[in-house]
Structure 1
Amino acid sequence: MPIQTRRERERAERERLIMTAARELAEAEGWDAVTTRRLAAEIEYSQPVLYSHFKGKSAIAAAVVVQGCADLAAEPASARAEARGVRESPAAVAETYMSFARRRSALYAAMCTPLVNLPFATEEAPEPVRAAFGELFAAVQPIAAEGDDPDLLTETFWTGLHGPATPMRSGRLPEHAHERRLALLIGRFAGGGAPAAADGGRPHGRRHRATGL
């Protein structure tokens, strides 16, 4: 194996170990516990080694989020594939999204706080982030009413999901009302609105901000 290839693989493995340690520590104790000093002790690397891969805690958290968004895109994609018809797709995606937010709470917290300075619903977002938003767009766009802006509809759908996820995790919204809350949101999206036009209902000449399509 060429020396350069081996070094690249070793570097990638170190980065994977750092991100895994950061995610596991955040899941156990919260992101406040994730420091370069603590990570160095956890994985037995020196702090200069960590800084040779990431500029600091926010860069590590951003890498964890980008990696996690690939999973966040894959799960709704499976849910959409199994949904029976376009009007069931938003419900399936919403349930999967909320399940992800609850199961991967540390990752979701990093996604939705100033800890990570990543663009989300823009063409500048990393590909896994755009893919995750693209799944939301794919679920909502077919049920857009004539004249609706699919981009804005997707953003509204996302904020409707994101809104309850964080305060519910902190106890500010009652857990027992989660299913009713989700059903109310889905009813507003899947229950009304005519099927989109054959061209997808997008304004001509405009690229979808989340997917870049």
Structure 2
Amino acid sequence: MSPSTPPRTDPSERSRSIVRAARRVAEGEGWPAVTVRRLAAEIGFSQPILYRSFPGGRDEIVEQVMVAGFAEMAAELADPVGEGDRLAHVVRAYLAFARTHPALYEAMFEARTRIVFAAAETPAPLREAFGSFLGAVSAGAGDEQAAVVRAELLWSTLHGVARLAASERLDPALEEARLEGILALFRS
């Protein structure tokens, strides 16, 4: 018997279930294991039902995982109430996010996507996450363009450190010194 959609399944809940299943499979087995067939089996829907929710198939599902990931990241990077050092918070929160959500982080930064970054049509969660970088470095920037460049450089630096740490290319004993070095670079 092939899986089919349960009666009266809300389409938005079905889409959320598919996205959650994709993330769960990726976290357990990696992104190559995430296929439309596998997701259909995981949640008990037929493949045509998945394609009805996501006509772009796997790539569209991964894009939704990506957008959801940026929403989570934005929440973690947001300036906490009473936090005195916004830059330190963003640096530490970003690296912790990358370390604790490796499959999600991979989807956010390495998956093929039609999502446009740094443009008017960029989804709000991506802009919100970038806004945290911007807020952390804009005090010393002078003008808007300079602030955006500093924010991009901070993001690029953190991404590089996150990827190198994930692939065990950096000495873990130097983590705190590395963090202090990043903070010194972006405070100047």
Q: TM-score, normalised by structure 2?
A: 0.88
Q: Give, in angstroms, the shift of residue 146 of structure 1.
A: 7.0
Does residue 121 in structure 1 map to residue 118 in structure 2?
Answer: yes
User: In the alignment, what sits opposite 1:205?
Assistant: none
1:58 aligns with 2:55: no
Which residue identity does 2:122 align to in structure 1? A
| Partner residue of 1:103 out of 82, 85, 100 | 100
Equivalent residue runs for 1:41-190 within 5 Å:
41-54=41-54, 55-79=56-80, 81-84=81-84, 88-144=85-141, 149-190=146-187
The 1:146/1:12 distance shift into structure 2, 3 A limit, reads closer
Contact 1:109-1:166 at 8 Å conserved across structures: no
Contact 1:70 1:132 in 2 (8 A): yes
Residue 30 and residue 158 in structure 1: after superposition, are their counterparts in 2 closer, same or farther (change >3 A)? same
User: Structure 2, unaligned stretches of length 5 or more?
Assistant: 1-7
- Could you say which residue in structure 2 is the equivalent of 1:19? 19
Gaps of 5+ in 1: 1-6, 193-213
Instruction: Compute the displacement of 1:182 (Å).
Output: 1.8
SS at match of 1:122: coil
Matches of 1:123 and 1:101 in 2, distance apart? 26
Output one character per residue of 1:167-206: Cα deviation in whole Å (capped at 9) or x when no partner: 211223333322222211111112x2xxxxxxxxxxxxxx
Deviations 1:98-156 (CA, angstroms, capped at 9, x unpaired): 11111111111011114333222333210111111011111110132579711111100
Distance 2:99 2:118 in 1: 21
Q: Is the 8 A contact 2:76 2:93 kept in 1?
A: yes
Runs of 4+ in 1 over 4 A off after TM superposition: 145-148
**Which deviates more from structure 2 when the two are superposed, residues 118-127 or residues 134-143?**
118-127
Shift of 1:17: 0.3
Superposed CA deviations along residues 62-119 of structure 1, whole A, max 9, x for unmatched, are 101111211111111144x3321xxx21111110111111111111101111433322
Q: Distance in 2 between matches of 1:75 and 1:147?
A: 24
Q: Distance in 2 between matches of 1:138 and 1:147?
A: 11
Inter-partner Cα distance in structure 2 for 1:164 and 1:131: 21
Give the match's secondary structure for 1:112.
Answer: helix
Greater shift in the superposed pair: 162-171 or 129-138: 162-171
